[in-house]
Chains A and B, each alone.
Chain A
Amino acid sequence: MIELKAIHKSYSTGQQQVHVLKGVDMFVAEGELVSIMGSSGSGKSTLLNIIGILDHYDSGHYRLAGTPINGLTERKAAYLRNRMIGFIFQAFNLLPFKNAMENVALPLYYMKVGRKERNRRAMEYLEMLNLTDRWNHMPNELSGGQKQRVAIARALVTQPKVILADEPTGALDSVTSQEIVEVLKNIHDLGNTIIVVTHEHEIAEQTQRQIILHDGLISSNEVDADILPIRA
């Protein structure tokens, strides 16, 4: 589903150039639930953003579901973000002037689904995340866990193949964190491919596979032999 080869990425801040990803090779099969671990500043978010087509990479190759993500038109990139990927941000990134239902329905607007149908589907996902009674609350009227669940509902609502979560529990207490992990596991059981960035071992341990990012490279990649593709 996701194939990365020799991905390089550096940021330039003023005069300095920070080489964050130094040739990352990574493969995630369809239906996998993997975690990306690494110390703070190791480039986990950078990597996940590239996978989510939210950021450019400098060199290397990236294929998402067989589509080369290289020199895409903006239109095509938007299409893939909308249909293929559900992104869950650490900072939730809900639009503050929309209520929970409207936030969840927003990706469907860009999918050109009609308003009624949008809201119906949004309510469906809010129900799945136990937020039915909060549908008309504004983000600032929701707790951190509730906001994250709204963000998850928004990531799921277009039924994308790939769910990417960047420290989805980073801002939450341990009980709420576990709830969110359960939700992700449930979604995984539905057949989605999920990549979770985290620095918490308890969470990483609940995924099928842990990828460890260190010094710009993947240092540990315990791959289940069964799901490895046959490579030439």
Chain B
Amino acid sequence: MIGFDGLQEILFTIKQNKLRTLLTAFGVFWGILMLILLLGAGTGMQNGVESQWGGDPDDAIFFVPGTTSVPYKGLSVGRQIELTQSDMQTIKQQVAGIRYISSENQLGSFRQAGSIITYKDKSTNVAVFGISDDFFNIKPHIEFPFGRQTNPYDTDESRKITVLGTRVAERLFPKEFDPVGEQVNVNGITLKIVGIFWDKGWEGRLSERLYMPLSAYQKIYGSGETVNLIVARITSDYDPAEKEKEVLELLQRRHNIAPDDRRAIHSWNVAEQTGETRAIFTGIDMFIWFVGLGTLMAGIVGVSNIMIITVKDRTQEIGVRKALGATPVSIVGTLMVESIMITAIAGYTGLVLGVAILELVAYLLNALNLSFAFFKNPEVNFQVAITALLLLIGVGAVAGLYPSLKAARIMPVEAMRAE
């Protein structure tokens, strides 16, 4: 319908009507640019929230001992509660629906990287944990760039092996190096590496750990009966919140804790936390959609207006062209292609610039080592961006279609008379 010659004719017209072209182009460019930046900022916020989030499965429940705060059965407050391996065994036996259960036993003070790990001439801090076999089943999101997780044989034979977090491995080994099979020294004990893991939880801080089989841990350090944390996953036919309550009550009975004592044992379930996180995500999502659709609407109204004005502006020209033998098809086609070309090029420019700005921001955040709790890795969902662009182009074309059809259909004198 248009062909190369038609395209040249269109390009020529565009070149001769710079201001109008620029106005249309700028409207589209700006709309898309703002949309991209907005989407990017939104994802940045989402990524920020997500990075704060452990990534534990929805059916996990956690128990951490504390100190009593309510007097009970003649026992005074301020008593330190110690959860033990036998608590774990009891839960496993008495509570229905426990799929996996494991403890975390940490050497030294809880949640501090208190041990020194050495490989050849390099050493760094690490938090040493003894774990039972179910541990990696409870945290299925943990990835293994190298090697494997612990297995029942390691536990049975109390092997002196370890699974090391990537954050620790990075400080000991060169990049891309596969350390599986290497020997490391931890507080004077030699351990063989069988795997390297990556746990995105706590912004990757959970990867600053070293895990070893609980049996070996107990043998080496002579402790391990008391545990720092009990974590379990329950089968899908039970409600995590109810199971959390049931286990908590069991533990309270076993340790003579008042049922209303909130500080003696801290417990939580992921499903509840996930619900809260989801609510934040939904909030951010709704905000993005609200502002995004607003921006898009403004863009659409702008483009439509300019298209209508453009056609009105050119009615006289259309009259002359018709008098010289232009068919309505060629007139409408030319106007449409012109509009689509301008909006597409402008929109694409906005898209590219928007993405470039986001990349730059992400790059700067990384390069300057800035990390904000609620903003991380701004990026844009390309499909959404392209859809928005196509929508803008399409609506621009449709908005121009009606007036151009009208202008193309009226008789030449009438068109030429138009002001």
What is the interface of chain A, defined by CB distance below 8 A to chain B?
Answer: 49, 52, 54-56, 74-75, 78-79, 81-83, 87, 89, 93, 95, 97-98, 102, 106-107, 109-111, 114-115, 154, 158
- Name the segment of B71-79, B294-302, B314-322 touching the other chain: B314-322
* Nearest A residue to B8, CB-CB: A115
* Nearest A residue to B414, CB-CB: A55
Given contacts A55-B411, A56-B411, contact A93 B328 (CB under 8 A): no
* Nearest A residue to B5, CB-CB: A115
Q: Closest approach, in angstroms, between the C-beta of A71 and any C-beta of chain B?
A: 14
Mask of B310-340 contacts with A, CB within 8 angstroms, 1/0: 0000000100111111111110000000000
CB pair B327–A78 under 8 Å, yes or no, is yes
Given contacts A115-B5, A115-B8, contact A54 B413 (CB under 8 A): yes
Contacts of A83 in B (CB 8 A): 325
Mask of B1-43 contacts with A, CB within 8 angstroms, 1/0: 0000100110011001100000000000000000000000000
Contacts of B323 in A (CB 8 A): 52, 54, 81, 87, 89, 93
- Residue B416 CB within 8 A of the other chain: yes
Known contacts A89-B323, A110-B325, then 18 further A-B pairs from the complex at CB < 8 Å, ordered by chain A residue: A55-B412, A55-B414, A74-B328, A74-B408, A78-B327, A78-B328, A81-B325, A83-B325, A93-B416, A95-B317, A98-B12, A102-B12, A106-B321, A109-B5, A110-B326, A115-B5, A115-B8, A154-B324
Q: Closest approach, in angstroms, between the C-beta of B318 and any C-beta of chain A?
A: 11
Contacts of B9 in A (CB 8 A): 109
Mask of B392-419 contacts with A, CB within 8 angstroms, 1/0: 0000000000000000110111101000
Cα separation A158 to B323 with both chains bound (whole Å) = 13
CB pair A97–B16 under 8 Å, yes or no, is yes
How many residues does chain B have at the interface if contact means C-beta atoms less than 8 Å apart?
A: 26
Please pick, from B5, B12, B324, B328, the residue contacting A107 in the complex, using a CB distance under 8 A. B324
Q: How many A-B residue pairs have CB under 8 A?
A: 65
CB pair A95–B320 under 8 Å, yes or no, is yes
Contacts of A74 in B (CB 8 A): 327-328, 408-409
Q: Which one of B16, B325, B329 has the highest number of Cβ atoms from chain A below 10 Å of its Cβ?
A: B325
Contacts of B324 in A (CB 8 A): 81-82, 106-107, 110, 154
Contacts of A115 in B (CB 8 A): 5, 8
User: Please, could you name 20 A-B residue pairs with CB atoms under 8 Å apart, sorted by A?
Assistant: A49-B413, A54-B323, A54-B411, A54-B413, A55-B413, A75-B329, A78-B326, A79-B325, A81-B323, A81-B325, A87-B323, A89-B416, A93-B323, A95-B317, A97-B17, A102-B12, A109-B5, A110-B324, A110-B325, A111-B325
Q: Closest approach, in angstroms, between the C-beta of A93 and any C-beta of chain B?
A: 5
Q: Closest approach, in angstroms, between the C-beta of A14 and any C-beta of chain B?
A: 16
* Nearest B residue to A50, CB-CB: B413
Q: Give residues of chain B (133-170) contacting chain A, Cβ–Cβ below 8 Å.
A: none
Please pick, from B12, B321, B327, B413, the residue contacting A75 in the complex, using a CB distance under 8 A. B327
Contacts of A54 in B (CB 8 A): 323, 411-413
Cα separation A102 to B327 with both chains bound (whole Å) = 19
CB pair A93–B320 under 8 Å, yes or no, is yes
Contacts of A89 in B (CB 8 A): 323, 416
Q: Which one of A78, A83, A87, A154 has the highest number of Cβ atoms from chain B below 10 Å of its Cβ?
A: A78
CB pair A110–B17 under 8 Å, yes or no, is no
Contacts of B409 in A (CB 8 A): 74
Contacts of B5 in A (CB 8 A): 109, 114-115
Contacts of A55 in B (CB 8 A): 411-414
CB pair A110–B413 under 8 Å, yes or no, is no
